[in-house]
Structure 1
Amino acid sequence: MSARGDSKAQYQLYKLYAKAMLNVSYRMMRNVEDAEDMLQEAFTEAFKKLNYFRFEATFGSWLKKIVVNRCMNELRRRKADLQFFDDMQRFEQRTEEELVLPELSVDKVKQAMESLPGGSRMIFSLYVLEGYDHNEISDILQISVSTSKSQYMRARLQVKQLLIQQGYEN
């Protein structure tokens, strides 16, 4: 394939995935300029590593992982503070039924999520909005699965309380 063909294909991939990946990046970075920077870096990395793509997942999910990792690395570089909670055991004992979010509009959840501390917001976003499980989150953030679960549960409770305060009733 010629260099011109490669750039056309890359442009098509960019057009197809840029908006969705910008949303992922923005939810993590909380700033349009930073989100755009991370998006560009993620696409550059993806295009450089395209020969490593093994078709075990969709290109979109592979790219999303690169975007998330880029954002995480940048936030770590900035010494983003992940908040770890002392009361993990209390939250780990909750049943799965208690963890299910009631059906809400995504916009309301996103708005409530903005009030969460950085680490909790990130875990909540990765779990609820991006669909990662706690094992994947622990790998991405380099934290334990139990920490991911406890931070998610704490974030979920905070979001629920905020939604109730805003007039949402279960």
Structure 2
Amino acid sequence: MPDPIDILLEGCRRGNPAAQRALYERLSYQLMGVCLRYCPSRAEAEDALQLTFVKVFTRLDQFRGQGPFEAWARRIAVTTSLNLWHQHQQRGPHTEYEEAADLHHPDGTPFDQLSAEDVVRLMSQLPPGYRTVLNLYAIEGYSHAEIGELLGISENTSKSQLSRARRLLEERLLLQAHTPHYND
């Protein structure tokens, strides 16, 4: 029995709108998460998601089935988001993020009670270069050589950026842990 994704892909290759919609609904949540990790704003992440699907639909003939389709689509989302990030950087200075001290944490031991949302929020406050390398290495599983190629930096710069990202994230976690927050 054929895999349901293969049936959807065949429908998409034929230009079937119902198959395209079903594929979008199946992957959009996951791919939006990827785009949000690399884009500086939700609006740009939404743009990246739409461009990702345009590329997926127009390049289906390039998918050779050498691995899961979802991984292929995810790589397109990463590349598309990185391209938008580069364009954003070229437009001028990026928007500064709030400091970690402005974040609220629940009572108790903050490290034990950090939610995924808290971690994502703290990561989003890292400088864009650090955040991008951290995401590519720790979440997407790229090697430093691959990151260097994707971002146009050396392998050693990638390693350095990852080290600095981890150190800064640790400092912000400690800052959050030691900053008292009072109920208004």
What is the TM-score when the length of structure 2 is the normalising length?
A: 0.70
Question: Letter of the aligned partner of 2:153 in structure 1?
Answer: I
* Partner Cα distance (1:150, 1:2) in 2: 45
Q: 1:5, CA displacement in angstroms?
A: 6.2
The total of aligned residue pairs comes to 148
Q: Which residue of 1 aligns with 2:59?
A: 49
* Partner Cα distance (1:2, 1:117) in 2: 42
Q: Which residue of 1 aligns with 2:121?
A: 111
* Partner Cα distance (1:137, 1:106) in 2: 24
Alpha-carbon contact 1:109-1:159 (below 8 Å) kept: no
CA RMSD of aligned residues (A): 2.5
Going from structure 1 to structure 2, the CA distance change for 1:2 and 1:156 (only over 3 Å counts) comes to: closer
Larger Rg: 2
Identical residues among aligned pairs (%): 35
2:134 is the alignment partner of 1:124: yes
Stretches of structure 2 lacking an aligned partner (at least 5 in a row): 1-9, 93-110, 179-184
* Partner Cα distance (1:35, 1:50) in 2: 22
Going from structure 1 to structure 2, the CA distance change for 1:138 and 1:56 (only over 3 Å counts) comes to: farther
Q: Which residue of 1 aligns with 2:181?
A: none
Going from structure 1 to structure 2, the CA distance change for 1:126 and 1:105 (only over 3 Å counts) comes to: farther
How big is each residue's C-alpha offset from its partner over 1:100-126, in whole Å with a ceiling of 9 and x where there is no partner?
Answer: xx9975333222212211111111122
* Partner Cα distance (1:12, 1:155) in 2: 37
Going from structure 1 to structure 2, the CA distance change for 1:105 and 1:137 (only over 3 Å counts) comes to: farther
2:20 is the alignment partner of 1:10: yes
Pairwise mapping of residues 12-161 of structure 1 onto structure 2 (< 5 A)?
Answer: 12-80=22-90, 105-161=115-171
Q: Which residue of 2 aligns with 1:90?
A: none
What is the TM-score when the length of structure 1 is the normalising length?
A: 0.75
* Partner Cα distance (1:26, 1:155) in 2: 18
Alpha-carbon contact 1:116-1:155 (below 8 Å) kept: yes
